[in-house]
Chains A and B, each alone.
Chain A
Amino acid sequence: MAKSSGVVDHYFHHGTKISGDVNALNSIATPVNLLPITAIDSTTEERIAGLASGALAFSCWFNDALSQPILDQLPSTDVCLLYSRGAAIGNPCYALTAKQTNFDPTRGADGSWIFAVDCQGNNTAGEWGILLTAGQVTVASSAATAPTGVVAAAQTTAGGVGFLQYQARDSGTPTFLIEDSADTTDGDDGTWGTLLTFAGTGGASPFGERKTVTGTVEKGVRAATPTGTYSNAVFAIGFRRGDTTDRESLA
């Protein structure tokens, strides 16, 4: 990618793509608390990283056919969120596991009716990764061709994190995977090993999931064609390759 606007972006709220109802993403944050540890023999402030978190806030039009029945639940359980900059494989995405704190309408004098939604990270920080699917995709069956993988310069050894946003299927039970390859030259050829298997399988209800994997991740990474017997699985997958400087070591 080169310089880019945020025109035509996507947002998934615990599985369901509700971009068409979102008016604006007001904040996407990964705050890191800094702890001062300045010593008496220092001439400058010294700081180390403390707790990290994440937050995502957006405003939303009222739509009782899509987002309202999802957002007005205000579940006590976590919601997994995914924002994607565009919808091409390899594009940036931001993922967060969070508690949704509100769904508050404002009725403007001009007749507009907009809802404010805030989500605060729970037990994970906000994470930037890349899309492994072209936004939300529909895969007809386990015989379908896998999406083209993203090929880095070399393997890494600090694990990774997968982000699944599953919305629907027509029938059956798809299982979602991420694969890696050491010998692919173009993201399609080569041998692809199963790197990560998401715990959740596709059923009647949408869901989001964050799943980690430790150790070596080969240079090529792709969203595998889901396994199992099913028809028309609708989902999006993102991935963050771990780094040796991560707070959460996945080496």
Chain B
Amino acid sequence: MTTKTPRTIEKVYIVANPRGIPAGIPVFRQMVGGELRGWYEGDTYDGPSSDEPLRRGFLEVKGG
């Protein structure tokens, strides 16, 4: 008999566009390592802190 190990599905944050920002314009920006970085609609968020973008609806959770 084989025991299946539960697979862990990691949360992925995808950038949403609740304000209808035009294409090519960042939905939001944060400082990362001393540099300004922007995230655009559809990007996968890989920044330092997801709490505030999540609260403002700039991120949607996929998976997890």
Contacts and interface: CB of A to CB of B under 8 A. Distances in A.
Bound pair: A and B? yes
A175 interface: yes
Interface string B21-47: 110111111110001101000000000
Nearest to A193: B28
B52 interface: yes
B52 A190 contact: yes
Report the contact-size class of chain A (Cβ under 8 Å from the partner).
20 to 34
B52 A179 contact: no
B24 A193 contact: no
Contact of A191 (B19, B30, B35): B30
Contacts of B52: 182-183, 190-191
A197 B20 CA distance: 10
Chain A interface secondary structure, helix, strand, loop or mixed?
A: loop
A191 B53 contact: yes
A146 interface: yes
Interface residues of B, number: 20
B58 interface: yes
B49 interface: yes
A189 to B, nearest CB: 7
Nearest to A213: B19
Interface string A189-220: 11111110100000000000000000000000
A192 B28 contact: yes
Contacts of A195: 19
Nearest to B21: A194
Given A197-B22, A224-B29, A227-B24, 5 more contacts: A143-B35, A146-B36, A183-B52, A191-B30, A194-B21
